[in-house]
Structure 1
Amino acid sequence: MGDAGEHQRPLRHTGQLNGEGSMGAKLTAMYGVVAVALLMAAAPVVAQDGQAATSETNETLFQNVRIFDGTSPRLSEPTNVLVRGNLIAAIGGEARPTASTKVIQGSGRTLMPGLIDAHVHLAFGALTMAELASPDLTPAKAGEAAAANATQTLMRGFTTVRDVGGPIFEVKKLIDTGRVAGPRIWPSGPTISQTSGHGDYRTPGEGPRRWTGKASQAELLGAGYIADGRPEVLAATREALRGGASQIKLMAGGGTSSAYDPLDVTQYTLDEMKAAVEAAEDWGTYVAVHAYTPRAVRRAIEAGVLVIEHGQLLDEDTLKLMAQRGIWLSLQRLQDSTPDMTAQRREKREPLIEGQERVWPLAKKLGVKLAWGTDFLFDPQQNAQQNAYILRLKTWFSSAEILKLVTHDNAQLLALSGLRSPYRGELGVVRKGALADLILVNGDPLANIDLVADPERNFAVIMKDGKIYKGQ
């Protein structure tokens, strides 16, 4: 976990400005116990189905399987796949077991890449809005919830996720060191927002840090930074990168779950947005922005942003521009408003739900680079529907296109992080030399895509990084 001092927030975000108070020291003490609390909370989850299988050998042979390789619209003929260590070592005639190789009988079932969700919030998705705003919420409690969510995500077959905002760095370390079962995480860390922006998570009783000298609870939790002007945006971006961000998440427009900003507003000036892009580019990575409207997206593109998150209100001209520039659209298909949503949030979502019915097919037609994610927020019960949300794409995509989108295509988006990618190797495909993130499916998902919606019944084996987390 490293020294607790590594996780101190910068003075500008802790409220310890000009020597005021001892908030920085208190924060250091809080983070010093995060690892212990996470381990204690996650242990019961990991000790059962989520625990990686141990074996005397580091070889596994999937025998007599048909392969969906991540790109082909057809399954392969029955074949064998050999995993050695964390890589796919051989396919076909070269895949021969030794006396110590663990053999899994495929019996003609489908072997496919692990699923990838390109837009998650493991912490925010594990907490309600009331919990996030509660003064009782500590970094340790938020981490416990995120760790449990991560384990459940892996057990649904999502071997990789891109976490685009929230306190996730500590959980990722626990996963990567094998102390918590969970997917590979491409983390953004704290979101970066202007005052009154979509990432301004202050409660009504919290004043501005600039004048009160006190950071908001959300900033102390590592949920987000409020940064105004080029110097603050540069500093916030660099702080996120220092913490381990593989890409930067910037709020460029209004949102449905934020209290202060209407959906139509454009956030951050061009110069502020360029500051984030320049700082990210210096680290060899990119900025993704939360934005819905053509005005916000066009400003982001002008600033050098490479990925647009959401975009359900985009027009045809802006989508054409994105296609021409090679800008990614990381899109979701939202569910209809639920009764437990606030009236404000329900009203904000209505134009997005209407707009997504037009944007998805139009973006596909125009050749925009598409990625898919769920974006579950503040409704922990919704997480269990993660696989079912893949089926919402059936309106516009074939089964083969859907599977390619949630494996190979999402992996191409992850590759934008370049040298800041936290894992080395090829994801989203089944081919020799690729990372061994694999699912053995009971049946043919190309013929029946509905199989992926019930991972408990239909995913016989889930392997991540060459280790089996579910199955034999």
Structure 2
Amino acid sequence: MCQACFKPDPVSGTLHFCHCGSPATLAIMRRIEADLSRRQMLGGLAAVVGMFAGFGLAPAKAQAPARPVLLTNLRLFDGETLSLREGVGILIDAGRIAALPARGQGPQDAQVIDCGGRAVIPGLIDTHWHATLASVSQIVAMTQDIGFLHLMAGQEAGATLMRGFTTVRDVGGPAFGLKAAIDRGVVAGPRIFPAGAIISQTSGHGDFRFANSLPMMPGDPADYASQQGMSALADGAPEVLRRTREQLMKGASQIKITAGGGVASQYDPLESLQFTEAEMRAAVDAATDWGTYVCAHVYTSPGIRRCIAAGVRSIEHGQLADEDTVRLMADSDTWWSIQPFLADEDANQYTDPKAVAAQRQVAEGTARAFEWADKHRVNWTFGSDILYGGGESQGRQLAKLARFMSPLSALHRATGAAGRLLALSGARAPYDGRLGVIAEGALADLLVIDGEPEQTLDWLADTANLRLIMKNGRVVKNELSGDSI
């Protein structure tokens, strides 16, 4: 209240009650504060845009059409049906798919884009991505100024979008600021479903400390990776609850834990089990209370079974699962994000014999994972898990799935199926609308391609084959000759 509240009139002595606390006054004040905050934000964003432009990271101008857009003369893959449709168009209005009108139909005032008989598919989704760790080496990620890391992440975000990936599920790293910058138009990039810091036990796959930093004492400061939001160390259910709740407070759409070792882990063996079931359940309980779910890095059957028993909803990797465990995943409606780890030219290169052997073991399990996932009808999706450089291989990684299944089946795992996994975030999902499909009411993310997606996915290796990229109804790339909007 102001100083005049309850102040007596100097002449009459009557008490006058001011209106500063009334609902109407408070509503006015909220509007003023919101306008001031908006002005400050816009001023700050202008400064950030200028800074990014200095690094060559200024976002491409996404064109927002003033009236509905109608895509015509196309073959449609809707993300769910494993065939292409002809004789329909795609009407886009206010960032969404408004309708799929028959040929020759649609509003007269719509801006028309003739796709020249090309295939149109939903924007691609990578369900295992690390937006702030994909484009730099591990030593850079752990030692360089965090501002540099974020600028590199902004550059990589633009490249990710131009590869046709309009959405990523970020499963570990300080991506909240990047997501906000993308959503506000400061930089170009995909939609981000952020997990925040990877929650790991001491000595787990997310413990990035060196052995010479041990032991950690109660009064010691957090290590660099924890300070910057790359990982969060937790031992015991109460600490897991705390770290999980911190990520939810920051805006996590899902929670990521490490439940087993990794191929390149310096300390934790690939077959190690991490977090007790009680610790995992603490993370699951905290996420469930907020209407979302937990995903877990794990390769082996014992680790996967422990995750399922604790209520983890999505297994990340899992290439060393036996068939009985895969069957359990199907029976428990557990999702599986599988990466095409094939120890090939796109794989990380190791000199440590232990890491080389582990990589070979995982590669041998990858083909079985695809086979058993389909055989037992597990809900599964594509994820690339590109770390420490090599982002340009993202499209090629998806194309490799066509070695194990039909091209359209592979595309489904990076579109319609991936969209259903994202929907597990419920009210914590940062975007309101269906993703991964071209259907009425869905968010308007789509690609017009030069290629025959029912025959091959080789066209994914060259971004020149992506003739039009649209995200949220805005065109971010258009190379269809004679067309412009």
> TM-score range with shorter-chain normalisation?
0.7 to 0.9
1:82 pairs with 91, 101, 122, which one?
91
Q: How many residues align?
A: 432
Q: 1:236 deviation in Å?
A: 0.1
Distance in 2 between the 1:54 and 1:214 partners?
47
Supply the distance in 1 between the matched residues of 2:204 and 2:49 (Cα, whole angstroms). 31
Query: Offset of 1:132 from its aligned partner?
Result: 2.0
Q: Which has the higher helix share?
A: 1
1:205 CA drift (Å): 4.2
Larger radius of gyration: 2
Equivalent residue, structure 1, for 2:283: 276
Query: How far, CA to CA, are the matches of 1:317 and 1:403 in structure 2?
Result: 27
State the partner residue of 2:113.
104
The answer for the alignment partner of 2:409 in structure 1 is 401
Task: Output the amino acid matched with 1:250.
Answer: I
Q: Could you say if the C-alpha distance between residues 353 and 110 of structure 1 is closer, same or farther in structure 2, counting changes exceeding 3 Å? A: same
Match of 1:61, SS state, is strand
**8 Å contact from structure 2 (residues 49, 58) kept in 1:** no
Are 2:342 and 2:366, in contact at CA under 8 Å, matched by a contact in 1?
Answer: no
- Cα distance, 1:96 vs. partner? 2.3
- Deviation of 1:54 after TM superposition, in Å, equals 4.4
- Comparing 304-313 with 123-132, which one deviates more in the overlay? 123-132
Identify the match of residue 52 of structure 2 among 41, 46, 49: 41
The amino acid that maps onto 1:277 is V
The partner residue of 1:311 within 304, 311, 318 is: 318
Note if 1:163 corresponds to 2:170. Answer: yes
Distance 1:249 1:375 in 2: 13
**Residue 413 of structure 1 corresponds to which residue in structure 2?**
421
* Amino acid paired to 1:80: G
**2:459–2:465 contact (8 Å) kept in structure 1:** yes
* Per-residue deviation, 1:97: 4.1
1:118-138 alpha-carbon deviations (Å, 9 max, x no partner): 10011111220111232xx23
Residue identity opposite 2:449 in structure 1: V
* CA offsets 1:215-244 (integer angstroms, 9 cap, x no match): 111011110101111111000000000011
* Counterpart secondary structure, 2:213: coil
Deviation at 1:359, TM superposition (A): 2.0
Percent of counterpart pairs with the same letter? Answer: 43
Change beyond 3 A, Cα 1:306–1:39: farther
1:286-313 Cα deviation digits (max 9, x unpaired): 0001111111111111111111100011
1:67-466 residue pairs with structure 2 within 5 A?
67-93=76-102, 96-99=106-109, 101-134=110-143, 137-211=144-218, 213-336=220-343, 340-343=349-352, 344-378=354-388, 380=389, 382-454=390-462, 456-466=463-473
Give the letter aligned to residue 323 of structure 1. A
- What stretches of structure 2 of length at least 5 have no aligned partner? 1-43, 479-483
Q: CA deviation at 1:446?
A: 1.3
For 1:54-73, list aligned pairs within 5 A: 54-55=64-65, 57-73=66-82
Q: CA deviation at 1:112?
A: 1.1
CA distance in 1, matches of 2:364, 2:84: 36
The 2-side partners of 1:354 and 1:340 are apart by 17
Contact 1:280 1:287 in 2 (8 A): yes
The answer to whether the 8 A contact 2:49-2:186 is kept is no
Q: Which residue type is aligned with residue 93 of structure 2?
A: R
Further displaced range: 428-437 or 159-168: 428-437
TM-score, scaled relative to structure 2: 0.85
Residue 368 of structure 2 aligns with an amino acid whose one-letter code is R
Output the CA distance in 2 between the equivalents of 1:65 and 1:44: 38
Q: What are structure 1's unaligned runs of at least 5 residues?
A: 1-32
1: CA distance, partners of 2:159 / 2:448: 18
**Structure 1 residue 39: Cα displacement:** 6.3
Q: Distance in 1 between matches of 2:54 and 2:450?
A: 29
Deviation at 1:51, TM superposition (A): 2.9
273 and 238 in structure 1: CA distance in 2 versus 1, 3 angstrom threshold: same
Return the alpha-carbon distance in structure 2 between the equivalents of residues 208 and 151 of structure 1.
41
**SS in structure 1 at match of 2:158:** helix
Determine if contact 1:255/1:262 at 8 Å carries over to the other structure: yes
* Partner deviation per Cα, 1:377-414 (whole Å, 9 max, x = no partner): 11x1x110111111211222101211111100011110
CA displacement at 1:73 relative to structure 2: 2.3
Partner SS for 2:128: strand
SS at match of 1:349: helix
| RMSD between aligned residues | 2.1
Contact 1:111 1:438 in 2 (8 A): yes
Asked whether the equivalents of residues 198 and 258 of structure 1 are also in contact (C-alpha less than 8 Å), the reply is: yes
SS in 2 for 1:452: helix
2:25 counterpart residue number: none
Contact 1:253 1:291 in 2 (8 A): yes
Assess, with a 3 A threshold, how the Cα gap between structure 1 residues 435 and 415 changes in structure 2: closer, same or farther.
same
What letter is aligned with 1:60? V
